[in-house]
Amino acid sequence: MRKSSIVGTGSYIPKRVLTNADLEKMVDTSDEWITTRTGIKERRIVDKDEAASDLAYKASIKAMEAANIKPEELDMIIVATITPDMIFPATACVLQEKLGVRKIAAFDLEVACSGFLYGISIASQFIATGMYDTILIVAAEVLSKIVDWQDRNTCVLFADGAGAVVLKPFEDGNQIISSCLGADGEGADLVGVPAGGSRLPASLETVRSRQHYMKMNGNGLFKEAVKAMVQAADISLQKGGLTYKDIDFFIPHQANIRIIKAVAKRMGLSMDKVCINLDRYGNMSAASVAVALDEAVREKRIKRGDKILLTCFGGGLSWASLVIEW
């Protein structure tokens, strides 16, 4: 079985900054509440005419440049998103056309915040079997368009961005050591968009009652997040024959600084090993970890030989953890 290597990373963050002070003018909130309860100071928001595939395209180009590969070399495209351009066709197909690549396989993954790590894990199976050699995995989220800007419980948390990687069979350089994927549909009602699917199709009533916006039970998610992230990380490390003592750099999902600190404490990891970007970017769902990985690589925070742990948790419920030797 062939191992996989991340041969290039890229990301794209919209230019428009929305600060906590801006939010104070929109809903009944304060910079003090948002900072102490979440750790978020500001986030990025797309322009009106920007959609997930636009962000995905920009992140993909950067990842392919870093990997020194041309779009025509790609064998498959996976896009992780809960904010696709439309219900269907897949945003991955829209991206395939924008990139001008061959008629290769392209599909979306709808696994909320865990989608990027699910995508890498799925892609690595195609590489392991020898079916494909060069796979683009992109996480692209435009959460500002499904957030209810009248709901202070959610609108202060979520934001927009995209990150991408190119995966190839391991030759030298980094390699993916192990992964753990999981889900628990019992918690499906803790976060989601109730209307617009086949259960509750769009109607005047669903629009009037704001059912097309994200609804979230923050407290319920908080408890599950810490437990699930530690369990997923435990399993991925065990599979790789490693312990937390071996980990040089930890990239957790960026939902809340209090969740991240609780998780790091349980793992026995000091905060200087933990990657944080939610203060600048908020929660970008699947894109959070993808953007964090790209920035850490470009800023050379990750060095050759480092053992990297990436762990996510989100809607579904879903979770995923990945160990990479860089």
What is the binding site for ligand ACO (CB under 6 A)?
Answer: 29, 33-34, 37-38, 112-113, 152-153, 156, 191, 218-219, 221-222, 225, 255-256, 285, 314-315
State yes or no: is 312 an active-site residue. Answer: no
Least Å from the CB of residue 269 to ligand ACO: 19
Smallest separation, CB 49 to ligand ACO (Å): 23
Residue 317 CB contacts under 8 Å (≥ 6 apart), including other chains: 183, 184, 185, 186, 187, 188, 190, 221, 224, 228
- Least Å distance between CB 62 and ligand ACO? 24
- Distance, in Å, from the CA atom of 291 to the CA atom of 44, rounded to the nearest integer, reads 13
| Beta bridge pairs of residue 308 | 249, 324
Residue 121: alpha-carbon gap to chain centroid: 13
Contacts of 168 (CB under 8 A, 6+ apart): 4, 5, 7, 67, 127, 133, 134, 135
Return the residue nearest ligand ACO (CB atom): 218
Structure tokens at 108: 């979306």
In this complex, which beta carbon is closest to ligand ACO, that of residue 17 or of residue 69?
Answer: 17
Give the separation between CA 160 and CA 181, rounded to whole angstroms. Answer: 24
**Given 113, 180, 275, 312, the catalytic residue:** 113
Instruction: Categorise residue 229: left if φ over 0, alpha if ψ from -120 to 50, beta otherwise.
Output: alpha
Residue whose CB is less far from ligand ACO, 5 or 144: 144
Q: Is 277 a catalytic residue?
A: no
CA 167 to CA 127: how far, in whole Å? 8
Annotated catalytic, 113?
yes
- What strands lie across the sheet with 318-325, from one edge to the other? 175-183, 318-325, 307-314, 249-252
Task: Rank residues 152 and 212 by Cβ distance to ligand ACO and give the closer one.
Answer: 152
As measured in angstroms, the least distance from the Cβ of 213 to ligand ACO is 12
Task: At 316, list the tokens.
Answer: 């579904």
Nearer to ligand ACO, 6 or 312 (CB): 312
Containing 256, the helix (H) or strand (E) segment is none
Q: In the complex, what is the shortest distance from the CB of residue 221 to ligand ACO, in angstroms, rounded to a whole number?
A: 4
The contacts of residue 221 (CB under 8 Å, 6+ apart) are: 187, 190, 191, 255, 317
In angstroms, the CA 60 to CA 12 distance is 9
Closest distance between ligand ACO and the C-beta of residue 259, in Å? 6
* 34 versus 167: smaller Cβ distance to ligand ACO: 34
In eight-state DSSP terms, residue 210 is T
Sign of CA dihedral 24, 151, 47, 282: positive
Q: Which of 20, 275, 283, 312 is catalytic?
A: 283
In whole angstroms, the minimum distance from the beta carbon of 188 to ligand ACO comes to 11
**Which lies closer to ligand ACO via its Cβ, residue 60 or residue 256?**
256
Q: Which of 93, 155, 180, 253 is catalytic?
A: 253
Q: Which is nearer to ligand ACO, 34 or 120 (CB)?
A: 34
Give the residue numbers annotated as catalytic, written as ranges: 113, 253, 283
